[in-house]
Structure 1
Amino acid sequence: MIDRSLVGEVLAGLSYLPSVAILGPRQVGKTTFVKTLVAQLNKPSVYLDLEYFADRVKLQNAPDLYFQEHQNEIVILDEIQRMPELFPLLRSMIDQHRQPGRFILLGSASPDLLRQSSETLAGRIVYLKMHPLHYREISTVQITYQQHWLRGGFPDALLAPNDKAAELWFRGFVQTYVERDLPALGLPATPDTTRNLLRMLTNVQGGLLTYSDLSDSLNISQPTVKTYIGFLESAFLIRRLEPYFANVSKRLVKSPKLFFTDTGLLHHLMGIQNFEGLQGNIGLGRSWEGYVIQQIIANLRSDVEPYFYRTKDKTELDLVLVQNTQVKMTLEIKYGNNPNTSRGNTVAIEDLEAKQNLIVTPQADDYWLRSNLRVCNIATVWRYLGNEGLLADS
């Protein structure tokens, strides 16, 4: 099993708060992680899978009695979004017998979609996000960045014995998400519409999200498209990266950029089945950009906000990291080990006045390209992020 970087935050939450919620996409490894972690703690636990009929029955008639009987154990509730009606009861149980680490909630939906929990468990819970396996987690095992980039970070796909097995896993994963999981979360789209939307979004990867184009292609209204995309984001399949507004005198782009949170899923939807196919694909550069952005965001401190920067006259940077309202670092992401920068990159760096500016490549040696711009690679970028205090464990 690959060690997950979230362990420190989970242990800290369990030592202080009555409940900890670990949220992330399906099949990302939440259940395996928690079962392994709890087995190492000196406290008994009980596990309930709320998608399993027998476990749901235990909570249908007298859930308050069940929780009282297990009040001295860690109660793990998996796929909590299946029974959101439990949240008011959890608040009551916590207030009656408040102690650290009573409940661990696992879910495949964002806190925004679990609105009842955020309203009823305020002050009693911390929400932590589990990303697909990221670069710093897999760098300790024999997995190359190329394999990680191609297959993404879902454990069953990344660790599959070959590319064909990974492709078969993704086929079943997408089918289950489209036909069962997203409708269960409340997505009103038909499975065919959802599939078409996902495929269209692969063409938007790394680009500005224009709802009108998607609306016209799918023959549905723009508000409906926004709703569907909101559900995909709440299920952790995609990310909308917002633009950074730093200079009111500039004509700034206001639309978000869209990225798939896992490049393995992106490549499956694009029909890419091996690294050679990825190398020859027109979307190579945007896939690399999304891969690097996901790896960095998955490792940021909770007080660091990621953005991109772009003006109407093509002044742009791929990633802007803001902490305490200050731009701490900018990053331009290039697929190539002899990167060049545009005039727009230079102007953007001057606009934002960050202390550290990087170009992230696959394998280039680290060197100064200019006095205010350093080239690095996917293996060394962490040193500079850590030096600026931007990493979760720095």
Structure 2
Amino acid sequence: MQQLLARPRLAAAIRGGLSEAPVVALLGARQVGKTTLAEQIVSTWPGPSTLFDLELAGARAALSRTPERLLRISEGLVVIDEVQRLPGLFEVLRPIRDARDRKAVFLLLGSASWDLIEGVSETLAGRVLFVDVGGFSLAETGPENQDRLWMRGGFPRAYLAPSTGAWCRWMESFRRTFLERDIPGLGSRVSPAALGRFWGMLAHCHGQIWNAAELGRSMDVSAASVRNYRDLLAGSFMVRVLPPWLENLGKRLVKSPKVFLRDSGILHSLLGLEEAIELAMHPRYGASWEGFALEQTLLAHGEREAYFYATQRGAELDLLLLRRGRRWGFEFKCTEAPRTTRSMHVVVRDLGLERLWVVYPGDVEYPLTDTITALPLKRIQDIALRPS
């Protein structure tokens, strides 16, 4: 297994963003490959470049003492890694970004969403172009590595680990560092032990409807506390909160979101799974496939306007994407030969879907009805979300 995978789509998006906007932000979980991407951009940048890694005390000290002077005189490409560690920089960047004599463009790397960093949303609203950086996709690893990517997850060091034991050790170290250093570094006062316990419990609720009261009772804390835990994990890109589609259809709809662990490797590690054969026998096998296929679909087609749909009478759709004014549906089934269900026919009619894909682990694409198609996950990046 090679030790570096090319990510040309993301690199092109970053270069395109820097040609259009003076400030571009790469947002994604820690260790997901943002720094490697930035180094690749720097290596081919035609002019001068400067890197401030805020993980290093010297860089933090320099930008804490005289941030405006340093950034205003900078030229070329300025990369600021782990920018969430100095949220005051955003206020400094605003006038520099708008200055007519500005000689630099800025590439910000962050491991927390803007909403999690106090004051940032207002400071740079409308002034930043965002590029979301997720884990490896099937397009990057190659579809022949689907099972490895599903089991190990998309963090580069986890996916490329030379052995199962090395993967397990990396996962344990990552979780410990995340809880004991990264979360406190965001200014959170949540106990690492409590958050870690919640994270583990969430693995067993992966892909289910969010129920704060039930989780709160299990942890002997308030519903507000578990919502805070969830928001911390979501804001640091560990958890995906998928909202429900609530169009008024004259039906009783499920109104709470679904919650997924975004990385399948972390899910499997929290469930105590090390080998694919253990996953196949685990009760969360189907839910694991749903979350993995969901993330791969969103990596391929974008995260905007993504929902799930469910009625109180049992009609469900795992993923609804709105694109170009049309509605596209996805069901994720971990089976060798997917078939249509009554629920699929109901949601196609109720939602007016342009097409419904039943995404499964196999190799052959074939029609199930005029509007429902069985689709191998390996081909998820090949479909076009536009009317035929």
TM-score by length of 2: 0.94
The reply to whether residue 126 of structure 1 matches residue 129 of structure 2 is: yes
Question: Aligned to 1:76, what secondary structure does the other structure show?
Answer: strand
Q: Distance in 1 between matches of 2:323 and 2:108?
A: 29
What is the Cα deviation at residue 364 of structure 1?
A: 4.3
What is the Cα deviation at residue 119 of structure 1?
A: 1.7
What is the Cα deviation at residue 117 of structure 1?
A: 2.9
The residue number in structure 2 matching 1:237 is 238
Q: Distance in 2 between matches of 1:187 and 1:299?
A: 33
The reply to whether residue 345 of structure 1 matches residue 344 of structure 2 is: yes
The residue number in structure 1 matching 2:182 is 181
Q: Distance in 2 between matches of 1:95 and 1:367?
A: 53
Q: 212-221 vs 177-186, which deviates more?
A: 177-186
The equivalences for 1:288-367 within 5 A come to 288-301=289-302, 304-327=304-327, 329-367=328-366
Q: Distance in 2 between matches of 1:181 and 1:66?
A: 26
Q: Unaligned regions of 5+ residues in structure 2, if any?
A: none
The reply to whether residue 194 of structure 1 matches residue 195 of structure 2 is: yes
What is the Cα deviation at residue 246 of structure 1?
A: 3.2
Q: What amino acid does structure 1 have at the position aligned with 2:59?
A: D
Question: Aligned to 1:6, what secondary structure does the other structure show?
Answer: helix
Which residue, 113, 126, 132 being the options, matches 2:116?
Answer: 113
- Contact residue 300 and residue 381 of structure 2 kept, 8 A: no
| CA distance 1:101–1:298, change in 2 (3 Å) | farther
Give the length in aligned residue pairs: 383
The equivalences for 1:19-168 within 5 A come to 19-70=23-74, 72-97=75-100, 99=102, 102-139=105-142, 144-168=145-169
Identity of aligned residues (%): 35
- Contact residue 366 and residue 376 of structure 1 kept, 8 A: yes
Q: What amino acid does structure 1 have at the position aligned with 2:240?
A: R
TM-score by length of 1: 0.93
Question: Aligned to 1:298, what secondary structure does the other structure show?
Answer: helix
What is the Cα deviation at residue 101 of structure 1?
A: 5.6
| CA distance 1:213–1:294, change in 2 (3 Å) | same
Deviation per CA, 1:93-128: give whole Å up to 9, x if none.
223345586111111000211353332223431122
| CA distance 1:123–1:349, change in 2 (3 Å) | closer
Q: What amino acid does structure 2 have at the position aligned with 1:318?
A: D
Q: What amino acid does structure 1 have at the position aligned with 2:163?
A: N
What is the Cα deviation at residue 370 of structure 1?
A: 1.7
The residue number in structure 2 matching 1:392 is none
Q: Distance in 1 between matches of 2:186 and 2:96?
A: 26
Q: Distance in 1 between matches of 2:64 and 2:375?
A: 55
Question: Aligned to 2:209, what secondary structure does the other structure show?
Answer: coil
Q: Distance in 1 between matches of 2:248 and 2:122?
A: 36
Q: Distance in 2 between matches of 1:226 and 1:60?
A: 33
Q: Distance in 2 between matches of 1:344 and 1:123?
A: 41
- Contact residue 207 and residue 290 of structure 2 kept, 8 A: yes
| CA distance 1:164–1:249, change in 2 (3 Å) | same
Q: What amino acid does structure 2 have at the position aligned with 1:295?
A: Q
- Contact residue 301 and residue 381 of structure 2 kept, 8 A: no
Q: Distance in 2 between matches of 1:301 and 1:203?
A: 26
Which residue, 2, 6, 15 being the options, matches 1:3?
Answer: 6
- Contact residue 32 and residue 156 of structure 2 kept, 8 A: yes
